[in-house]
A and B are shown apart, each in its own frame.
Chain A
Amino acid sequence: MSDSVAAHAAEAHHAEPGFWRAYIFSTDHKRIAKQYLSLGLFWAIAGGLTAYMMRWQLAYPDTEVPGWGFIAPDFYNMLVTMHGTIMVFFVAMPILLAAFGNFLIPLMIGARDMAFPRLNMLSFWVFALASLILLTSLFVPGGAASAGWTGYPPLSAKPEYTGVTWGLNLWLLALALEFASFLMGGVNFLTTAINLRAPGMTFFRLPLVVWMELTAAVIFMLSVGPLIAGALMLLADRVLGTTFYLPEGGGEPLLWQHLFWFFGHPEVYVILLPGFGLILEIIPVFSRKPIFAYRPIIYSTIVAGALSFVVWAHHQFLSGMDPRLAMPFSITTIIISVPFALIVFAMIATLWRGSITFSTPMLFAMGTLSVFIFGGLTGIFNGSAPVDIYIHDTYFIVAHFHYTLFSAVFFAGFAGLTYWFPKMFGRMMNEQLGKLHFWLTFVFFNAVFIPMHVVGLGGMMRRISDPTQYEFLRPLQPLNQFITVAAILLLLSQLVFVVNFFWSLICGKVAERNPWQANTLEWSVPSPPPHENFHAVPVVYHGPYEYSSGDAVVDWLPQDHGAAPKAAARS
């Protein structure tokens, strides 16, 4: 297919494609990115609604949820399952990995499109099919999957344990298809970055977000395979009568946990790294400084990616596996904080002696950083096996992973969206609304999740639908109600973003090529970039972060500008 890109370029360079090719079955990476973004944002609304329903039930058990009605215990389990599934696989992955990866990789490396444009289109449509199947699974008789997003067998392996029949089968099918879609996407990302870089764009001149997206793609591709097999095995247990996970037939329930977490923990970094990548682009631009320690950040990313393959059993300290195995996994888990500490320190050092502008993207980037630090530090508690005995399966864990994942998905996602919005849609977003959105989100996020740690330390278990049924949890109920009120306000705050997004799309100020005065290649083309991106393939002369490097009046130096001030020769 490699020659087809070139042929395509030669033939269709000037002809704009028709409606169907341009909007529905588009092979243009920018269009596909927007398709992923739209679908991801749609799912984010669905995921937010599940959070609202769960929080209401927890604060005011067995009262009608306004706008919905009563929530039965088995329906609560479906909400728990869907919230996790949707947020991880149908919001975080499509937005952080697929939307930003698709949009940014070709533009940033100076390519006309992905290496395999039609495969790219296929990836999206397989993902859309997975979305459709997941949506269908919510409405089939017997209800949606209700065994938790981790789907531990035997609960998930036999319909009679949950009462859910097709809902869970379709859930597994949707996951398997989603994985297949992102596998194809990963092949495309890696091939594109290896072979379609513009002349002069060496690996050590790549913007860090490209490095992060690529590392995430590699981690994903090397870890998901066993779970694809595992998901098919679980499906076979349910419909074909095999006994992979059923002890009565000689199977092993813990096998699933190993397959799931061998993927599931690297998956955390598949989400985190692209989120970090986005803010690593934003921080230098709004500090007018090169990113501190560019190469060490890359090495840290690779080390973190490699370590992520040997930490998975920290989810299983109490699962019944041999307790002697806990210590090695506890040690690797706690050690993985070192490469992430380096990246965090490098971001902080980038601020030092900068010239910092508090634009909306920069505020969200700082939100990401400060919230992630909190989440990273609470991870040390969970990683310590003895402490985990107590806090495992409590709200402390829930609070912890929302600090890490909410920071990567939402804070970094909003940072990226507000930063690249002009490039994607050709218009500027409203700064006042953007700042309002940031402060509301930041305040209410912390109001939800700081108290949640305390609730967890009080012993409240995850995935229970009514804490008041437990005498020892009743004193925590006022705190639970506080969290719910804050969570509703957090969700309502997102309306500011929705308004800003659509208003700016239609009436925003028309964006110039390079509104933020940034160096990377995507800012050298019109906003939005034309089909095939570049009029002529650019030639790259510098690293991506040459800010304030010379004595010239302008304090930035685009990657494709030949004239190099003396300081830039250093890179």
Chain B
Amino acid sequence: MAEIISGWFPENVSSFGGEIDALFRLILYVTGAWFILTEGLILFFLLRYRRREGRRAAYVAGDNLRQLAWILVPCLIVLLLDLWLDFRGAEVWAKIKGQVPPSDFHVQVTGKQFNWEILYPGPDKEFGTADDVLMENELHVPAGQVVRVILKSKDVIHSFFLPNLRLKQDAVPGRAITAWFNATKPGKYPLPCAELCGFGHTGMNGWLFAHSPEDYEQWVKQQWPSPQPSPSGRGRG
């Protein structure tokens, strides 16, 4: 069962994606049971109690507690299941959104009609310095590390969507919103905009490159060819 459900989703490469997918499956099992129960009852009653000559309907108004129990008890079960799902949800939400884990890798992503501008702080790990590098639609990160994304927008609302990382966060002009992810597997993953942002919304698509440690080293060397890339930045952190 779980495999079939996983087949509906894009491959999960997020450190917290498993939790979201598990919560999805839990809700699917709970609601699926209710679905089968209610629809089954409807179908059964419709067939069993269809009109027949000589049989009268029973006068059951549900106006006393003994009869009402038939719907109040199921409602109570619904409430308890709701609360259970709420608590499970709250746990997962707290893990993902409660606090951003410490991160060594910061990157600033700015939405604009109709591209992602991705700003790397460079070896000094500081934005607004000479070694910043700006790229369009290419987000390069090391796999297996927490990546902290500072989301901004230059014009309208965009939404930063990484399907494989189970991450979505709106980028709102006038705000800097922090999001994070940790890609567990190297690869190239889509980074579309998920919020209608104008006539070029379709096709506003970037790529996340999650690099293995060696590849990442290589990529850093390409971008910042100077011989002493890291020490100056380390001292600050």
Contact = CB atoms under 8 A, between A and B. Distances in A.
Touching chains A and B, CB distance < 8 Å: yes
Interface of A: 72-74, 76-77, 80, 146-148, 152, 154-155, 161-163, 247-248, 252-254, 287-296, 318-320, 323, 326-327, 330-331, 334-335, 337-338, 341-342, 344-346, 348-349, 351-358, 366, 369-370, 373-374, 377-378, 380-381, 384-387, 389-390, 392-394, 454, 457-459, 461-466, 469-472, 545, 547-549, 555, 567, 570-571
A316 to B, nearest CB: 9
A461 B177 CA distance: 21
A386 B93 contact: yes
Interface in B42-82: 42, 45-46, 49-52, 55-63, 67-68, 70-72, 74-75, 78-79, 82
The 5 tightest CB contacts between A and B, nearest first, are: A247-B174, A74-B199, A292-B62, A459-B163, A293-B62
Contacts of A293: 62-63, 67-68, 71
Given A387-B20, A390-B9, A464-B202, 8 more contacts: A155-B156, A326-B93, A327-B89, A335-B86, A345-B74, A389-B96, A389-B167, A548-B59
Interface in B133-179: 155-157, 159, 161, 163, 166-175, 177
A162 B198 contact: yes
A353 B49 contact: yes
Contacts of B177: 320
B205 A470 contact: yes
Contacts of A462: 194, 196
27 contacts: A152-B196, A248-B173, A289-B57, A293-B67, A294-B62, A330-B89, A334-B82, A334-B86, A335-B79, A345-B70, A346-B71, A348-B42, A351-B46, A353-B58, A355-B56, A373-B39, A380-B30, A381-B27, A384-B85, A390-B168, A393-B168, A393-B194, A464-B192, A470-B190, A470-B192, A545-B61, A570-B61
Interface of B: 8-10, 19-20, 23-24, 27-28, 30-31, 34-35, 38-39, 41-42, 45-46, 49-52, 55-63, 67-68, 70-72, 74-75, 78-79, 82, 85-86, 89-90, 92-93, 96-98, 113, 155-157, 159, 161, 163, 166-175, 177, 190, 192-203, 205
A483 B221 CA distance: 48
A400 B63 CA distance: 34
B27 A384 contact: yes
Main secondary structure of the interface of B (DSSP, over half): mixed
Given A370-B42, A470-B190, A73 B86 contact: no
Contact of B156 (A146, A161, A248, A373): A161
A357 B79 contact: no
Contacts of A335: 79, 82, 86
B194 A292 contact: no
Contact of A292 (B20, B71, B197, B202): B71
B55 A387 contact: no
Given A253-B157, A345-B74, A472-B163, A352 B60 contact: yes
Contact of A463 (B8, B155, B196): B196
Contacts of B28: 381
A454 B4 CA distance: 11
Contact of A567 (B59, B159, B171): B59
Given A154-B173, A290-B60, A470-B192, A318 B168 contact: yes
